[in-house]
Amino acid sequence: MNLYPQKAFRWTATISFFALVAGCSSSGLIPGTSQKQEASPTANKEQTTQKTSASSLPKDMRNIGEVISIKDKNLNITFSVNGTRKHSGKRVLKTNKGNKWILVDTTIINQGQKPIILPVVAFKVIDNANKEYEVALLAEALDDVRSPTGEIKPGGEKRGEVAFEVPEKAKGLKLVFNPNINECQALDAAKSKQSSALSCTPVFVSLN
């Protein structure tokens, strides 16, 4: 009986096995297992956090109570922050554990000749670590919270509170207000030069 074919087959199988192991080791996998993507533990949290560059912060920080004028081809408004308060929530409307709701009381007056619409995304908050927090829409549903967003008629005034969910230990909070944010983002997406007649520089107000 000729054993040569059997030996050759065994050597080929052995070499193939070691090649398979080496390939799996280089990819960090063990034979017979599959790689799974872990879900982010913060995937279900309402607020979105990002990082703002410290160089993008303005040198002239505004303060609570200061009346700020914004005038360009789209807008002729005054904007002010009247104060802040903490909200603990009601019944099922609660923050995530370790967080709090901060409500920013604002007043916007439309001094122009046409109606304006302020979107929710015109507001955000950053902390002393330059982390950004978007408007907490869940808190906006509270029956004692009235939003300043939406349409403001010519000569009209709208006062309301914008809610943000931030960590309990968050410090150095600043409100960022950019009423032209949708138009400015459209210009960026189109890689178009921003018109000098359109204000794309946000207003920063210290909430301390």
DSSP 27: T
For 64-69, what is the mean pLDDT?
98
User: In one letter, which amino acid is 141?
Assistant: A
Alpha carbon 54 to chain centroid, angstroms:
16
Closest among 112, 99, 110 to 148, alpha carbons compared: 110
- Does residue 62 have a pLDDT over 70? yes
Residue 44 has pLDDT above 70, yes or no: no
Provide the CA 106 distance to its chain's centre, in angstroms: 20
Mean pLDDT computed over every residue of the chain:
80
Q: How far apart are CA 152 and CA 116, in angstroms?
A: 5
pLDDT given for residue 69 in this prediction: 97
Q: What is the pLDDT of residue 45?
A: 47
Question: What is the spatial distance between Cα 80 and Cα 159, in angstroms, rounded to a whole number?
Answer: 10
Q: What pLDDT does residue 113 have?
A: 95
Q: How confident is the model at residue 3 (pLDDT cuts 50, 70, 90)?
A: very low
pLDDT at 35 over 50: no
| CA 80 to each of CA 156, 158, 161: distance values in angstroms, whole numbers, following the listed order | 15, 11, 12
pLDDT for the residue numbered 192: 73
Q: Let me know: does 81 contact 105? Beta carbons within 8 Å.
A: yes
pLDDT in tens, 142-171: 989 999 999 999 999 999 999 999 999 999
Q: What pLDDT score does 116 carry?
A: 95
Mean pLDDT calculated for residue range 19-40: 41
The mean per-residue pLDDT over the stretch 45-50 comes to: 54
pLDDT band at 173 (very low <50, low <70, confident <90, very high): very high
In the predicted model, is pLDDT for residue 109 greater than 80?
yes
Which alpha helices (H) appear in the chain, and where do they start and end?
4-26, 137-140, 181-189
Q: How far apart (Å, rounded) are the C-alpha atoms in residues 8 and 18?
A: 16
